[in-house]
Amino acid sequence: MIYGHLPEDPQWQLLEHPLTMKQYFMLPHIHETFFELNLNIVSPVYTHKITLEPGQSYGEVLIATSTDGVELSGSLRDKSDTKIEGGDFVYFDHDQNLWRCRFAPQKVGNHPILIFGGKKSKANKSTLSCAVEFNFDIDHLSTATISYPITSSHFFSYHLQIVKPINTCYIDWSSDKNFPYCKILVRSPNDVHLSATVADSITGMNIENGTLVNFNSQESLWQYLFAPAASDASYKLTLFARYVNENQSHCFAQFYLQRIDKSMLQNYSLLPFTYGSFHEAKCHLYEPLDGILKRGSKIRFHCRIPDAHEMNITVDGQ
């Protein structure tokens, strides 16, 4: 209760080390949700100021809960109070049994930090209530800046690992003009299947034949390939996962692909259309990656299908 009232007599603070009035005014701003969820700030202790972790490009808030039925999320803001995309990464550390709330500023200046919370049974990041506020004032960045992909609780519940890219929410376009696709690599347990969509980040319209999800059985990695439709748009890449016995896939991460120089799209082509059974069989299509085959051309198909005993090719329904 020290966050809401400072007793004049230090003994009634009920703290091992009582606070001074100056320390009391340094406490983070606490909201009602903080008490409703019975949260406990492990770090930083008795201050609203966040600092960069030693040798890192992010600051961290550690929060413990008395129950596992709590969901937290975060938001890093700029001086105009606009949310910085890719600026927060909040997850539950099962080894330490606490929430790690990481915030990565892109430039120097003052950054308000908001941490939201709610009951897990009702948890939806758009409806969680603000629990506590901090302040992240950056006067210099000695290391390269980073950003985080947008992740949901499913990222952790499915025990997924993003292998590439690292420490960024943005996808780089391939510098190889003979391989005109951008790529994401994800590792998952054997009983989890992955899929993806690519959409115009402004209109939200999905790009047909814009994704191909392969499974590299030799490295036990899922390979996402994305092919945008034009150079004058930015794109949102959404990744999904489901257990083998589940009927519905759940979004676990989102990345962004920025506007592309036209010179990078000289060899652009639509990706092949795949069905659910392609992912269920954990196929890997090496070639052709062009979804539209030229009439009369000779095509070499190179595809790996783990444990397959027979394969059938149908052309024009025959």
> What's phi and psi for 138, nearest 5 deg?
-105, 120
How much is the CA Rg of the chain, to the nearest whole Å?
Answer: 24
pLDDT at 233: 73
Instruction: Indicate if the pLDDT at residue 298 is higher than 80.
Output: yes
Q: Provide the mean pLDDT of the chain.
A: 83
- The CA distances from residue 118 to 41, 52, 115, 122, 124, in Å, are 16, 27, 11, 7, 8
- Kindly indicate the confidence band of residue 238, based on its pLDDT and cuts at 50, 70 and 90: very high
- pLDDT reported for residue 64: 94
Judgement on whether residues 127 and 157 belong to the same structural domain of the protein: no
Distance CA 61, CA 49 (A): 10
Q: Which of 223, 147, 225, 227 is nearest to 186 (CA)?
A: 223
Bigger pLDDT: 54 vs 222: 222
Q: Quick check: 222 pLDDT over 90?
A: yes
Return the CATH number at 224: 2.60.40.1220
The parent domain of residue 122 ranges over: 10-146
Do strands 129-138 and 49-50 pair parallel, antiparallel, or not at all (unpaired)? Answer: parallel
Mean pLDDT of 124-132: 77
Query: Identity (one letter) of the amino acid at 252?
Result: F
Residue 188 is assigned to a structural domain of this protein: yes
Is the per-residue pLDDT at 279 higher than 80?
A: yes
pLDDT tops 90 at residue 243: yes
Q: Are residues 295 and 170 in the same domain?
A: yes
Whether 165 and 178 have beta carbons less than 8 Å apart is answered as no
Written as one letter, the residue type at 213 is V
Quick one: pLDDT at residue 14?
Answer: 46
Instruction: Decide if 187 is inside a domain.
Output: yes
- The one-letter code for the residue type at 232 is D
Query: Residue 102: which region, alpha, beta or left (left: phi > 0; alpha: psi -120 to 50)?
Result: beta
Flag whether pLDDT at 306 surpasses 90. no
Helix H or strand E segment including 134? strand 129-138
User: What is the pTM assigned to this prediction?
Assistant: 0.79
Alpha helices in the chain (DSSP H): 21-24, 32-36, 153-157, 276-280
Weakest mean pLDDT among 99-103, 190-194, 231-235: 231-235
Specify the pLDDT at position 231.
61
Number of domains in the chain: 2
Span 42-99, pLDDT tens digits: 999 888 899 998 888 999 999 999 877 899 999 999 988 899 989 999 999 888 999 9
Is residue 20 located within the same domain as residue 57? yes
